Amino acid sequence: MRQIRTYARRPHVFGALFFLLLFVSQPAHAGVYKYQDEEGNWHFSDRPVGETQATEGLSERGVDAPQNPDLDQRLSELFAPKNDIERVSIATVAIHTAAGTGSGFFITDDGYILTNRHVLQGDKSQRQAIEQQYLNYKRQVDNLKDWVDSQKGQLVIAEARLRSSKQDIYSERDSQVRQGKQQIYEAQHRNFERWKANVRDKEYELSEFERKLDSAKLALDNRELIADLSQNFTIFLRDKTELYVYLVAASETYDLALLKLDGYKTPFLEPFDSHRIAQGEAVYAVGNPLNLRTQVAAGVLSGHQGAFVKTDARIYPGNSGGPLVTGSGRVIGINTFKQLTRKFEGLGFAIRIDIVLNEFSGYLNP
């Protein structure tokens, strides 16, 4: 049974904050502008009409949101794709999240974006590594604390015995016996001081491990917070335009997530059944990592394994979440992970596009 977690859209808090900062930062002598709307109503503002509208677009859509709502037309004219693979690149986006970065791509002309869930919520193996580190520190803290507490209790008993031995020396009348007891006492006292110093060192070591434990716990909590609360993300188009998107749904079964960009007509990729491609036929893994140009890794279809398409095209963090496409630019899967064979040859895995469309059928096939 499909398990999909859906998310209600949340307003951008930073948009409201941005407006507040703009308001309080205006100089006292700013002018007042009057304009009339389409219905004949008059409005007064401390900024020109065009500037106000531009600010609204910036806070709701992105830092440098384009005024032209047809992104397909704008990007096509800007880059003039020379072939089908270059056409794929304008439908591929870079995704920036608190958990990291990755790629995604438009699957409809009204702004639906497919990507990997781990791009948004962090890699499961990374979380497991943090959990393991936290458990290791906790075990060391617990063991050291038990040892220190035990040693401190024994030190109290040993110190009381030393005091008793010292009193016994003072009460001894025989000088030779007293001298012998004094020598024994001094040796015991030296051992006691070394013992106490060792316990102090262990207490310091305990405090260091407690500090590391707190840091590991904070890292774990932060990743949980990111996974639970992050619903708004930033994407970058091929021309580096920065736009805001929100999480629509995430698959509980597969490493898949569905994002949405509102208000634009977008370029998109046509799906294609990977089973209709012959083994050995050329495929391309496309990605749009941040601060880099679109990257394309060429390979061949190696076969199928369960829900995955296998390929020798290089799949790495930069193009994880991006499309695996045919030579004609049709998407057959979502780049997900790379696995090393016994000969250390890279084998890439992409989730089949038919699996993806079935997971999000309520949104992509109304």
Residue 2 is predicted with a pLDDT of 62
Of the candidate ranges 15-19, 307-311, 329-333, the one whose mean pLDDT is the lowest: 15-19
* Helix pair 124-171, 175-229: axis angle to 10 deg: 160
Residue 213 clears pLDDT 50, i.e. is over it: yes
Residue 83 clears pLDDT 60, i.e. is over it: yes
Question: What is the reported pTM?
Answer: 0.61
Confirm or reject CATH 3.90.1520.10 for domain 4-114+234-364, answering yes or no. no
Domain boundaries, the chain: 4-114+234-364, 126-229
∠ CA 301-304-305, nearest 5°, is 140
Q: How confident is the model at residue 192 (pLDDT cuts 50, 70, 90)?
A: very high
Q: What is the pLDDT of residues 22-62, one digit of tens each?
A: 333 343 334 444 445 555 554 444 444 444 443 344 445 55
Phi, then psi, of 298 in degrees rounded to 5:
-90, 150
Q: Is 192 exposed, middle or buried (0-12, 13-18, 19+ CB in 10 A)?
A: middle
Q: How confident is the model at residue 114 (pLDDT cuts 50, 70, 90)?
A: very high
Residue 84 clears pLDDT 80, i.e. is over it: yes
Once rounded to an integer, what is the mean pLDDT over residues 327-335? 96
Residue 22 is predicted with a pLDDT of 38
